Amino acid sequence: MQALAQGRLDEAELSQAERALLDYVKKVTEAAYRTTPEDVQILREHGWTEPQIAEAVYITAMFAFFNRVADAFGIPPQGYLEANAVTK
């Protein structure tokens, strides 16, 4: 859990399907316009369904939205991970 919370995916105990999904949502986060039908096909091949893929995109987009709004209003990070000692 600690590796995952700190973004060290290579050290996290993830299945190939989970890793594929996280790689995809990273691409959505950083450059959604660069996603391709082939990216989605890779997820299907790992067993993800259309509704699951769509939900991953919606959640990723919502987090990006909320983070940008919080940043725009100067809301500081809440420290939830630190409070639960996940990243320590």
Each residue's pLDDT tens digit, 19-44: 999 999 999 999 999 999 999 999 99
Each residue's pLDDT tens digit, 53-80: 999 999 999 999 999 999 999 998 887 7
Q: Which long-range contacts (CB under 8 A, 24 or more apart) does 1-5 make?
A: 1/86, 2/86, 2/87, 2/88, 5/81, 5/86, 5/87
Is the pTM for the entire model greater than 0.75?
Answer: yes
Question: Under CATH, what is the fold of the domain 2-83?
Answer: AhpD-like (1.20.1290)
Domain limits, the chain: 2-83
- pLDDT value at residue 3: 84
Which of the two residues, 29 and 82, has the higher pLDDT score? 29
pLDDT value at 50 more than 70: yes
| Separation CA 35–CA 27 (nearest Å) | 7
